[in-house]
C-alpha cells in the first residue's frame, strides 16, 4: 500500500553561537492510511520538533531541510501559506500535550469547535453545532449538547483532553498527531485516552502518530514504533516485534526503566545512567555512545551507525549490533 505520509531525510536546525544546533538529524519514516506509528524517546529527543515540522508550525528560526515530506502526493515543503490553511486542521490535525494551553479559556467549548468546523467547511453555525455535538460524543465527552456550553476552566484535565481530541476530529482529518497527549493525565484517564484514540483510529480509518516517552504505551496503540535519541532514529519496525526483541541498547534501557506490573523491590527499575546530551553536542559518532554500556571502542566515537536488519521490517542503528548481533547487547 502506498504511504499517505513519507518523510525522507528530515533535519531541523537552529542557529547557534558558533554553528547550527541540530535537533532532528536525517530522520526518515513512512505511514500508511489506517495505521499508527508511535514515536518514542526521552524528553529532548526531537520527537515533538519533528511532528511540528510535519504540521508546518516549527519555530520561525528553525531551518528545515528534507529530501521530501510527502503527503498524499504533495511535498509539504512546497506548500504556500494559503495551501497550509487547507491542510492544517483539515487533513492533518494535532492533539497537544497541554489542552489548557491549546484551548481558549475565555470561549466556550461549543464556540471553539464550531469555529474550527467553519474554518474549513461552508456551513451555518447550526450545522457546525451539530458537528460539534457529534465529535464531542465520539471523543467520549458526556452530555455533549449541554456541557459544551461550559468553559474549559470549568472542566477536569481528562475532559479538556477529550475536547482537544474532538477539535482534532472536527474536520475528519486523514492524520492525527498526538504529541504527548496523555503525559499530564493520571494513569486511569491515560488508559482511557489511549483506548479512545486507538478505537477512533480503527473506526475512522485515519492514520495516527502517537508521540510519547513511555514505551509501555507503544504496544497498546502502535502498529509501528520509531525510537529516537538526541534527534536520531535508532530503532524502527513493527511495534510488537521491536518491544518483544529490542536490539538497540537505548530501547532496552527505556524498557528496563519503565514501570510495569512486575516492578517490585525484587524486580526494581533500572534507570539509564547519565543524562541525554544537549542538542547539537554529540558530534559525528553514535548518538548514544556516552551512556551505552557496550559501545564499540574506536568506532562509536567517530562513525555514525547505519541501519542493520534485525528482522522483517525491523531496523537498528547500532555498531555493537552490527558487529556482534544480539549476543553483544546488554
- What's the confidence (pLDDT) of residue 27? 98
- What's the confidence (pLDDT) of residue 69? 97
Q: What is the DSSP letter of 38?
A: E
DSSP track, 248-317: SHHHHHHHHHS--TT-SSSS---PPSS-PPPTT-STTS-TTGGG-TT--TTTTTT-----EEEETTEEE-
Positions of CATH 3.40.50.300 in the chain: 5-91+173-328
Which triple of cell numbers denotes residue 28? 526518515
Q: Does the predicted model carry a pTM greater than 0.75?
A: yes
Give the whole-angstrom CA distance, residue 301 versus residue 280. 15
Residue labelled with grid coordinates 518523510: 7
**Is residue 68 classed as helix, strand or coil in its secondary structure?**
strand
Q: Is residue 170 within 8 Å of 112, Cβ to Cβ?
A: no
- What's the confidence (pLDDT) of residue 260? 62
Average pLDDT, the chain: 93
Question: 3.30.360.10, 3.30.1950.10, 3.30.565.10, 3.40.50.300: which CATH number matches 5-91+173-328?
Answer: 3.40.50.300
- What's the confidence (pLDDT) of residue 263? 52
Q: Is residue 19 within 8 Å of 191, Cβ to Cβ?
A: no
DSSP track, 88-108: BTTTEEEE-S-HHHHS-TTS-
Residues near 129 by beta carbon (within 8 Å), at least 6 away in sequence: 110, 114
Which triple of cell numbers denotes residue 186? 493520571
Q: Is residue 34 within 8 Å of 176, Cβ to Cβ?
A: no
Residue range 277-288, pLDDT digits in tens: 988 888 889 999
Those residues of the chain that have pLDDT short of 50 are none
Amino acid at each position: 500500500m502506498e504511504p499517505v505520509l513519507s518523510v525522507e531525510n528530515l533535519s531541523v536546525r537552529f542557529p547557534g553561537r558558533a554553528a547550527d544546533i541540530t535537533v532532528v538529524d536525517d530522520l526518515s519514516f513512512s505511514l500508511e492510511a489506517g495505521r499508527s506509528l508511535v514515536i518514542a524517546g526521552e524528553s529532548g529527543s526531537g520527537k515533538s520538533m519533528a511532528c511540528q515540522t510535519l504540521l508546518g508550525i516549527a519555530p520561525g528560526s528553525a531551518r528545515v531541510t528534507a529530501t521530501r515530506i510527502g503527503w498524499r502526493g504533495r511535498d509539504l515543503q512546497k506548500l504556500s501559506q494559503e495551501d497550509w490553511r487547507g491542510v492544517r486542521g483539515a487533513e492533518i490535525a494535532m492533539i497537544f500535550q497541554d489542552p489548557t494551553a491549546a484551548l481558549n479559556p475565555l470561549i466556550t467549548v461549543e464556540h471553539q469547535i464550531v469555529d474550527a468546523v467553519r474554518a474549513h467547511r461552508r456551513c451555518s453555525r447550526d450545522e457546525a453545532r451539530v458537528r460539534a455535538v457529534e465529535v464531542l460524543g465520539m471523543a467520549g465527552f458526556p452530555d455533549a449538547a449541554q456541557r459544551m456550553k461550559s468553559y474549559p476552566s470549568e472542566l477536569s484535565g481528562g475532559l479538556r483532553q477529550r475536547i482537544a481530541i474532538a477539535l482534532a476530529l472536527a474536520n475528519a482529518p486523514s492524520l492525527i498527531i498526538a504529541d504527548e497527549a496523555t503525559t499530564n493525565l493520571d494513569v486511569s484517564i491515560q488508559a482511557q485516552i489511549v483506548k479512545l484514540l486507538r478505537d477512533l483510529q480503527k473506526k475512522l480509518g485515519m492514520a495516527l502518530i502517537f508521540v510519547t516517552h513511555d514505551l509501555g504505551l507503544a504496544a497498546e496503540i502502535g502498529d509501528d514504533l520509531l525510537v529516537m535519541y538526541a534527534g536520531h532514529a535508532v530503532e524502527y519496525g513493527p511495534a510488537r516485534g521491536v518491544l518483544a526483541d529490542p536490539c538497540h541498547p537505548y530501547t532496552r534501557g527505556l524498557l528496563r526503566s519503565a514501570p510495569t506490573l512486575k516492578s517490585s523491590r525484587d524486580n526494581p527499575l533500572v534507570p539509564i545512567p547519565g543524562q541525554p546530551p544537549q542538542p547539537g553536542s554529540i558530534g559525528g559518532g553514535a548518538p548514544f555512545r556516552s551512556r551505552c554500556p557496550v559501545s564499540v571502542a574506536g568506532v562509536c566515537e567517530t562513525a555514525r551507525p547505519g541501519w542493520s536488519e534485525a528482522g522483517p521490517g525491523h531496523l537498528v542503528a547500532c555498531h555493537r549490533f552490527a558487529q556482534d548481533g544480539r549476543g553483544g547487547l546488554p
